[in-house]
Amino acid sequence: MTDSWPPEAVRLNPDKRVLFLTKDLELIKQQLYHGLDLQMADLTVDDLLDDINTDVMTPAWVCFRHRPADIALDAYAGLLDEKGERVFTTRALMDGGFEAIVSGLRKGTGSSRETAAQCERWSGIRYVFAASFAPIHERNNINLGQLMGDHAQLERLQQGESIPLDDFTDRYDPVTRTILEQGGLFPFSKKVTGGQIELPANATGKRGMTMAEKMVAAKMLNPGAEGAYVAPDDPVLAKVDGGYSHEFTTAQVHDFLAEEYGADYKVQNPEKLAVFEDHLLYADGVARFAPFISQIQTLRDLQNEFQQHTGVRDYQAKDGVSPGICHQIAREEFVDPGDFIQATDSHTCMGGGSNALTYGVGATEYAALIHSGFTFVKVPETIRFELTGELASGCTAKDVILHILDTFAKREDTLNRSMEFGGPGLTSMSVDERATLCNMATECTARTGICEGDALLAEWLAERRPGSSAEEIAASFIFPDEDAVYVGGTHEINLSAIQPMVATPGDPTYGANIAELDNTAIQIAYGGSCTAGKIDDFEFYARVCQEAVNAGLKVADGVSFFIQFGSTAVQDYARSQGWLDLFEKAGVTLIEPGCGACIGCGPGVSDTAEQVTVSAINRNFAGRSGPGQLYLASPLTVAASAFIGNIVPFHEGMFATAASSN
């Protein structure tokens, strides 16, 4: 991005072209390869592609590249015609001479990957027109300095009109508008740090606040005259306490920082930043990743280079063994109450179980914030869940969040909101179980999840924070004000009424009580991931396995049961309890700490479309963990199903009946 961007008045370059992404894919090919030029005046929104998702713009194999210019080479590689052939061949967008791209409704749905916006930007696109944009994709465009407009604006431009920059920016809040008018997040951050941009004081006065609001307010760089108070939708800059990245994203962060700030760039607070090697740990053994192994190794090498340059915490694999999954280790070792933590992964929100504000961001935003120490925040609305009662012995927090997904997320009550958990029922849940609730806030399309603190959390943290007492930690807890306003409402969930649930294949939002399922045979049971690789999850697995072994059972014929540790601390605890021997007796296959089947990279992935998996992971989108049918369930349900061979809920004594029938 240059100092001349963006222009004070927007006009189309007569030497450049506009690409229309039409539902008629042949028209796209005519524009790409045969010089066809279209006019917005001759089209309607119904002619344009809707719901272009980020996987279409940059499929996973494209994301193994870390340089945006290389990513752009295969922009829109996932858009296929009726023959299954690519509409956009390599360099098609880049070589087409386009400066603007046009689509229909909800541009950029799906995954939050920033590479989708990058593939257009580094192909020469500077203007993006659509009927509407998915929120995260829109933010990624803003961070890159891309100007977004509607079809009416494009029609005016194609008629030769010059449009003031204000027409593209005045719909945004003052901070976002300034970011765009400075050419993106990096130029904006430089000028704020250099004192060239004076932030307006936040206008919100004294008011009762939710936990998320209080955490943002405490970090705000531009408080108002009445003090540090914020309200939903307030645009503020806030100090960030820490964060982390993993091998899928660190290389980009490293490159961006060197490009923007020079090879000797520095980061803020490195003792509370970290790098992890967890996502691609088993990639070398995955056949479909074979063509990309050299690219994956480059990602690893650049992450190591970044770590050595910055001195951030190092959680990379040693001799092929990873210390574990980033979200689990972060909560074990450095996410503290009241912290504001950002990381380059959507399940960063898991840290909210420790009474912290945590959520994921893109590589550009992460690079900017670890260099400057602050980030832009649009204060989220909050929805509160007041938990009462206690869970039955066959239910876990996973069943609770599947219930919330099927009830509240399905009707978008949680969309882009902070999910606040409290009430007497929360205190009946372990600290690990609370982390499960927050971990899957992202599946609810929420910004984050945050749990209230109590003595149990204080003791859990004190055991893992040398030199800190439980009393000191408890004093740092953030609680909502009594007069806090919950835009999403306050909703009571009686834990004693929760039933064992699954999410049916294709989407974690759509749940069902297991009692409502037909007899569903399985071939794979998988326990692990950041959602279900914690100590308490292993207690659940061990509880079921012990009952099965006592009844003389092993994993059912035709079923493979995999359990993967979330961290070495979890693995060490399991060893100390004698569970490793128990799992071996039961016929379980244990996997070293790290990610794996959850992202289709490791043991536990299905091989054929006919296979059925019951899994304790967080997402079951088509193809995420192989081509088979994937049900999401609790650790108890996953383990019980492995011994029966069908998806079943766990209850005490169930295997005695099964053993006698055999």
Block means of pLDDT (10 residues each) for the chain, length 662 residues? 79 98 98 98 96 89 93 96 95 98 90 90 98 88 97 98 97 92 93 88 96 98 93 95 95 95 96 96 87 94 98 95 96 98 94 97 93 94 98 97 96 93 98 98 92 98 97 98 98 98 93 93 97 98 98 97 98 98 98 91 93 95 88 98 98 80 57
Topology given in CATH for the domain delimited by 501-661? Aconitase; domain 3 (3.30.499)
On whether the CB atoms of residues 58 and 117 are closer than 8 A, the answer is: no
On whether the CB atoms of residues 271 and 313 are closer than 8 A, the answer is: yes
Sign of CA dihedral 434, 440, 442, 444: negative
pLDDT at residue 661 in the model: 59
Q: Is 652 exposed, middle or buried (0-12, 13-18, 19+ CB in 10 A)?
A: exposed
Sign of CA dihedral 248, 249, 250, 255: positive
| 449 three-class SS | strand
Q: Is 144 exposed, middle or buried (0-12, 13-18, 19+ CB in 10 A)?
A: buried
pLDDT at residue 601 in the model: 86
Topology given in CATH for the domain delimited by 239-375? Aconitase; domain 3 (3.30.499)
Nearest-5° Cα angle at 350, 344 to 351: 90
Topology given in CATH for the domain delimited by 9-191? Aconitase; domain 4 (3.20.19)
0.85 surpassed by pTM: yes
Question: Strands 313-315 and 127-129, how do they pair?
Answer: unpaired
The boundaries of every CATH 3.30.499.10 domain in the chain are 239-375, 501-661
The boundaries of every CATH 3.20.19.10 domain in the chain are 9-191
pLDDT at residue 287 in the model: 85
